[in-house]
Amino acid sequence: METKHWTVSEQSFDKQAMEEAADLLRKGETIAFPTETVYGLGADATNEQAVRKIFEAKGRPSDNPLIVHVASKNQLEDLVEDVPEAAFTLLDAFSPGPITIILKSKGTVASNVSAGLDSIGIRIPSHPVGLRLLEEVGLPIAAPSANISGRPSPTKAEHVTHDLEGRIAGIMDGGPTGIGLESTVIDCTEAVPVILRPGGITAEAIEAVIGTVMIDPGLAGDEKEKPKAPGMKYTHYAPEAPLYLVEKDMQQHADKLAEDGEIVGIIATEELAQQLENERIQVCGTREDLSTVAQHLYDALRYFKKSDVSVILCESFGKQGVGAAIMNRLEKAATGSI
């Protein structure tokens, strides 16, 4: 399949590109587009065959449900039942933005979107290009991250091209995404909302508007509890060489591995990078502001290719605020910690 490419700037939306992409979506094709978190791979959520193309292009397991993206709250009525008070409050506070709210499905989307569950995740992205495309097409758009399953999510259009060129109908390049990690997924079908995936909106920010929330015990990674978001049980975000999280003494660990013949790549913040001596360091934000680490993390994970380094060492972080989402992704990507 030939993949079309458009470059669209936030300042001057290319009308023709928007119309072409929206038209392909209406015809049941898959289009990658920017959101403020990561690039998504969209298809008409009401068209089962179109949705199937997403699973095929990504190699995604069919038991992993897709988030449904809409341009406005007015579209909710068609898609979900019983929107509880907390969900309205969250939508008012954080949408458009990096939050996905799980609600009871009305069954209007194709059955393969929700992978057999009676709920669906709804998200209104705030990226001007993504949001404009959703407005143009006017349909609910199912969209997972636009990467091959298991790889780090794409934060640049070139990551999408690398993974999916020739497998999807089009890629809309709107520049690098801002947040860099996926949306927070919060289940509002329970009396007390449960965070199923930490993300762009922190637990602290959510509690400030709706009071106490639970964190899915399955996220802790022990064997007994299965995560409630099916996608959280898979190994994810993995780079092509083994990755180890390093709590301290980065230089000593790197030297030891190099002595053993390994080619060591390091992912570190500016602060740590300044203290290190190593040929291959990928700087990933600053400790002063962890949102910069979130922003650059997936690009850093993609940067080291197997041919280049034989092992990757990555600095680790505290789990407060956006640190929770960063460490959630890193722990999934990592072979272990030292």
Contacts 24+ apart (CB under 8 A), 202-211: 202/321, 202/322, 202/324, 202/325, 203/324, 204/320, 204/321, 205/94, 206/90, 206/94, 209/89, 209/90, 209/93, 210/86, 210/89, 210/90
Q: Which of 24, 67, 139, 206 binds ligand TXA (CB under 6 A)?
A: 67
Comparing every residue's Cβ against Mg ion, the nearest one is 145
**Total residues at the site for ligand TXA (CB under 6 A)?**
31
User: How far is CA 37 from each of CA 94, 178, 189, 296, rounded to the nearest angstrom?
Assistant: 13, 6, 24, 11
Question: What residue 152 binds from ligand TXA, Mg ion, none (CB within 5 to 8 A, per partner kind)?
Answer: none
State the Cα–Cα distance between residues 112 and 117, nearest whole angstrom: 9
177 belongs to the binding site for Mg ion (CB under 5 A): no
Which is nearer to ligand TXA, 47 or 149 (by Cβ)?
A: 149
Q: Which of 18, 120, 160, 311 binds ligand TXA (CB under 6 A)?
A: 120
Looking at residue 35, what DSSP letter applies? -
37 belongs to the binding site for Mg ion (CB under 5 A): no
Which is nearer to Mg ion, 17 or 39 (by Cβ)?
A: 39
In the complex, least distance from residue 59 CB atom to Mg ion, rounded to whole angstroms: 12
State the Cα–Cα distance between residues 237 and 101, nearest whole angstrom: 22
Residues 122-151 that bind Mg ion (CB under 5 A): 145
Comparing every residue's Cβ against ligand TXA, the nearest one is 231
Residues 70-109 that bind ligand TXA (CB under 6 A): 98, 100, 102
In the complex, least distance from residue 136 CB atom to ligand TXA, rounded to whole angstroms: 17
Q: Which of 37, 112, 155, 316 binds ligand TXA (CB under 6 A)?
A: 37
Of 298, 240, 230, the closest CA to residue 61 belongs to 230
Which segments of 156-236 does DSSP mark as H helices, in order? 157-164, 203-210
Q: Which of 8, 24, 65, 155 binds ligand TXA (CB under 6 A)?
A: 65
123 belongs to the binding site for ligand TXA (CB under 6 A): yes
155 belongs to the binding site for Mg ion (CB under 5 A): no
Q: Determine the distance from the C-alpha atom of residue 280 to the mean position of all C-alpha atoms in its chain, rounded to a whole number.
A: 26
In the complex, least distance from residue 118 CB atom to ligand TXA, rounded to whole angstroms: 8
193 belongs to the binding site for ligand TXA (CB under 6 A): no
Residue ranges of E strands in 202-279: 214-215, 243-246, 264-268
- Report whether 283 contacts 271 (CB < 8 A): no
Separate counts of helices (H) and strands (E) for the chain: 11, 17
Sign, CA torsion 298/302/308/310: positive
Which is nearer to ligand TXA, 37 or 295 (by Cβ)?
A: 37
In the complex, least distance from residue 237 CB atom to Mg ion, rounded to whole angstroms: 8
Interface residues with ligand TXA (CB under 6 A) are 35, 37-38, 40, 64-67, 98, 100, 102, 114, 117, 119-121, 123, 125, 143-145, 182-183, 185, 196-197, 228-232
Interface residues with Mg ion (CB under 5 A) are 145
